[in-house]
Structure 1
Amino acid sequence: MSDAKWRSSTYSGGNNECLELAHGVPHFAPVRDSKRPTGPVIRFSRDAWRAFLAHLG
């Protein structure tokens, strides 16, 4: 995932206290804690991530 481009939500206010989502990773939606960029990454399938977002909205 070294080619991943990590982005945090615009709602986070730039205070580094949110989740980051990696773009450019085929088949997965990798998520990590912005406070621990070298820490663990949870990989969701694209379908699971879309279902999660749909549930929030």
Structure 2
Amino acid sequence: MKVHVDWDLCDGNAVCTLEAPEVFQMDDDDNLQVLQEEPGEELRAQVQAAANICPKRAISIEG
């Protein structure tokens, strides 16, 4: 699985970090960082939950 973030849509509201903190994190300047662009299958449910909760639908999953 590969995680994609549409940076033009992302507001940096951080709700994805609550659902998948192993994959998404906010930096010191409140910018979203993707910690794992290709997380393991064991994180699929969390990444999917993060994509689903994103108010801007900026997160997508490939594979």
Please indicate the TM-score interval, normalised by the length of the shorter structure.
Answer: under 0.3
Structure with more of its chain in helix, by fraction: 2
Between structure 1 and structure 2, the one with the greater Rg is 1
TM-score (norm 1): 0.27
Q: Which has the higher contact order (CA 8 A, sep 6+)?
A: 2
Q: Which has the higher strand share?
A: 1
